[in-house]
A = this chain, B = another copy of it.
């Protein structure tokens, strides 16, 4: 099929009918245009153009997933109840319902790419996207200094009286022209060296790795014919349990070119690290998981390269950050003992590894550098956060938090770092909560409760009828219920109120967020006392973690000067509400900072900064790991934290004030 990007291509779909195909349809953001006959169905036109729009009802118009935005031109399109007024005014249409009347330009909104949409959704300017790195700022700090450098070498061709081998000729050139002495090199480049040196009459560009600390000299990783010094790229990868992010870096210009993401295809073998470890113990399980994540990286990387019109051979190296289990699975290391007490990973720092040997579709010369992990549950993603936030160089006493199934915490400053993983459980990811769900369409994320009527005001992701509650929604809901006086400090609902919203249920009393007729399902969406118990246990585990780490170094909450929140959760959570339920410490709001996807940030910094690449292991080793279950005082702290916000109210002065204000 003849389809091109950014230009018009004739497309004869019904040539046998001599249809006149004179209507142009342009699909943005791809800039892809095809010509179709008048009256053609828009979804069919998209299919013809090879543009994917999710549509799961077969075109009947009932699923509402094939939403596009009409940017110009005319479509014949009935208005269905699946589109709100606001949608309609914004140009949203259901592609399967549209007939093309004139030349049109339509845009495929991210959410019509189904699952992938949640990877890139934004809210209030904060998204799951990687935080932008300010390279100019890095340069000012003297940290923009990629370990990989390209060097142009002009050599004289060999003669009978000067016929030293090609490698020695190149080494001499590097020594004379760039003062690089006694370098080491990777075998594989020898296989192409003779050809490359002769391709541009003995002018070559050498790629040197200045990071390998244990060598006295740089390591020659690649040689290209001619002058390629202006084309030099690196790839940073964050392997999340759920999502894999790949970021493309232009090291010649000092620019971040772009990023792409996709779900980690290991998801089909289990949602979380524990189920993946269990799967890895099956016959061929580890190999399957390893190949699975490699294929996701290949897929995302090649999509990204294509978008930026780069050849894979122009990449000099890859950097990777991930939690300890994902790191083990990516490298094909048996994660068995991560799960079994006493929880020992195979290694903290992984030696250099040829990317190709891990199943990555890149040339021989590409090696993988990964961020070291500290322990089984404080991984390279957290070390990345410490690196990226500069915590290890920070004089202020700082708390670093990444909340997920395992909430990881780091406390310290430039002199010392203590860290731990809190078994918070999956409550903040919607797990163990009756109507908990991931942050996808239909999840209630914003909620307030009228303190007089006890009626809720809900906002869902995608602004559709609610299906359930996501993690940040649960925190907002619990805080709202506290504000409205519906939930007591012990996590129980008041039983003296005359409202249909609070009623007895299977698991204690429950609050009705939405009655069935207003939901996407056929059940009332409720929050039960059992759910609140789970949330209290989760936030209690985190809070007890902060206190225990602080106490183990002789400090207290009062000594904390700032808090850094990392990860998706950190980006979406309402700080006030998280403090209100006792999840985050009660510090002035300007003490809170966000680093977004710290794992990808760390991987990116490794590629941009020789110092980071050389120091990451030292930073990981600087972080003292505490197994909280073995740390004296933790259990007491945990039990004391099973209260809203806490049994010791003095930890949360601003919450008391807030509750007083809410009541007043």
Contact = CB atoms under 8 A, between A and B. Distances in A.
Contacts of A341: 160
Contacts of A164: 344, 348, 375
B215 A165 contact: no
A191 to B, nearest CB: 6
Interface stretch (A98-106, A181-189, A563-571): A181-189
Interface residues of A, number: 52
Given A166-B347, A167-B348, A346-B194, A184 B334 contact: no
Contacts of A336: 194
Contacts of A332: 191
B163 A375 contact: yes
A342 interface: yes
A627 interface: yes
Given A168-B348, A214-B215, A348-B168, A333 B163 contact: no
Interface of A is mostly: loop
Given A163-B627, A184-B214, A351-B185, A346 B158 contact: no
A227 to B, nearest CB: 22
A353 interface: yes
Contacts of A217: 214
A375 B194 contact: no
B184 A344 contact: no
A382 B348 CA distance: 45
Given A347-B167, A352-B187, A158 B342 contact: yes
B160 A190 contact: no
A161 interface: yes
A176 interface: no
A194 B340 CA distance: 12
B627 A344 contact: no
Interface in A154-180: 158-169
Contacts of A515: none
A185 B346 CA distance: 13
Interface string A523-557: 00000000000000000000000000000000000
Contact of A334 (B163, B194, B333): B194
Interface string A137-169: 000000000000000000000111111111111
Contacts of A159: 342
A280 to B, nearest CB: 12
Contacts of A337: 166, 194, 198
A630 B158 CA distance: 14
Given A194-B344, A195-B334, 6 more contacts: A160-B630, A166-B337, A166-B347, A167-B346, A190-B331, A193-B347
22 contacts: A158-B342, A160-B343, A160-B627, A163-B342, A165-B347, A166-B337, A166-B344, A166-B347, A167-B348, A167-B349, A187-B331, A187-B351, A187-B352, A190-B347, A190-B351, A191-B332, A191-B334, A194-B337, A194-B344, A195-B334, A214-B215, A215-B215
